[in-house]
């Protein structure tokens, strides 16, 4: 990989918005704009570390109440039950819906934790400018981007149940504050992955800045 020429060596720079490859402006010149979409050209996303860390920490702060607060209330004639994510998974398992319980557990518990772990690892390793497992880290970043949208499964389930059960006079389902915190967690982790510049993975110590 070290023998391959880099874009900086060829005097090229890519637009972050439309992905057009442009000639890099000479040193000392004013900021250059993309000739196609007019966006400012940067070799790397500006303040990518600060933005990604801020969004990731904010997402983790939202993730704690999302798990401890109830996300859904199920009310019938003789029973009112508030469910957190974990209690909902447990109830699905007990009621014989093991496959759905596994899907909700993976999408709502494991996926956010995986995103925290992967993005944290990418930020630390990229900041250290190490060449450790660069190909694997790039694949992990693409995996995080791919699975990020599936974390909204819990929000969709609550919305769907709330809409469907309204047709039943004897019972109802209401969303509770936990689902708001969970939705914020998903949105913030998605923004964090979008703020991170994956090209930083290849900026090892022995490469040109």
Query: Residue 41: is its pLDDT beyond 50?
Result: yes
Q: What local confidence, expressed as pLDDT, does residue 61 receive? A: 93
Instruction: Provide the percentage of residues in the chain whose pLDDT is more than 70.
Output: 75
Residues of the chain with CATH 1.20.140: 47-202
Three-class SS state of 74: strand
- Of residues 78 and 57, more confidence is placed in 57
pLDDT higher than 90, residue 57: yes
Helix residue ranges per DSSP H, 36-97: 48-68, 85-94
Tokens of 131: 């060449």
pLDDT of 1? 47
Model confidence at 102: pLDDT above 60: yes
What is the structure's pLDDT at 170?
54
Cα–chain-centroid distance for residue 90?
26
Q: pLDDT tens across 151-161, in order?
A: 666 566 655 55
Find the mean pLDDT for residues 168-172. 56
**Whats the size of the chain, residue-wise?**
209
- Measured between alpha carbons, how far is 43 from 12 in angstroms, rounded to an integer? 9
What is the token pair recorded at 118?
């992967």
Each residue of 176-196: b (16+ CB within 10 Å) or e? eebbbbbbbbbbbbbbbbebb
- Say whether pLDDT at 53 is over 90: yes
CATH topology of domain 47-202: Butyryl-CoA Dehydrogenase, subunit A; domain 3 (1.20.140)
* pLDDT category of residue 60 using cuts at 50, 70 and 90: very high
| Helix (H), strand (E) at residue 75 | strand 72-75
Distance CA 4, CA 92 (A): 52
Q: What is the pLDDT of residue 173?
A: 64
Q: Which residue has the higher pLDDT, 194 or 3?
A: 194
């Amino acid at each position: 990989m070290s023998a391959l020429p880099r874009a900086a060596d060829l005097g090229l720079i890519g637009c972050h918005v439309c992905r057009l490859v442009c000639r890099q402006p000479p040193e000392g010149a004013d900021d250059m704009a993309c000739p196609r979409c007019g966006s400012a050209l940067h070799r790397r996303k500006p303040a990518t570390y600060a933005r990604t860390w801020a969004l990731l920490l904010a997402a983790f702060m939202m993730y704690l109440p999302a798990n401890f607060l109830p996300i859904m209330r199920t009310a019938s004639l003789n029973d009112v039950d508030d469910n957190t994510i974990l209690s909902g998974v447990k109830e699905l398992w007990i009621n014989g819906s093991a496959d759905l319980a596994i899907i909700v557990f993976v999408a709502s518990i494991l996926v956010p934790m995986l995103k925290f772990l992967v993005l944290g690892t990418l930020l630390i390793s990229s900041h250290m400018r190490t060449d450790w497992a660069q190909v694997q880290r790039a694949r992990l970043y693409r995996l995080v981007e791919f699975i990020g949208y599936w974390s909204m499964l819990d929000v969709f389930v609550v919305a769907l149940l709330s809409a469907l059960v309204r047709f039943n006079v004897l019972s109802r389902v209401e969303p509770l504050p936990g689902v708001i915190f969970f939705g914020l967690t998903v949105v913030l982790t998605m923004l964090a992955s979008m703020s991170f510049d994956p090209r930083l993975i290849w900026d090892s110590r022995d490469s040109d800045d």
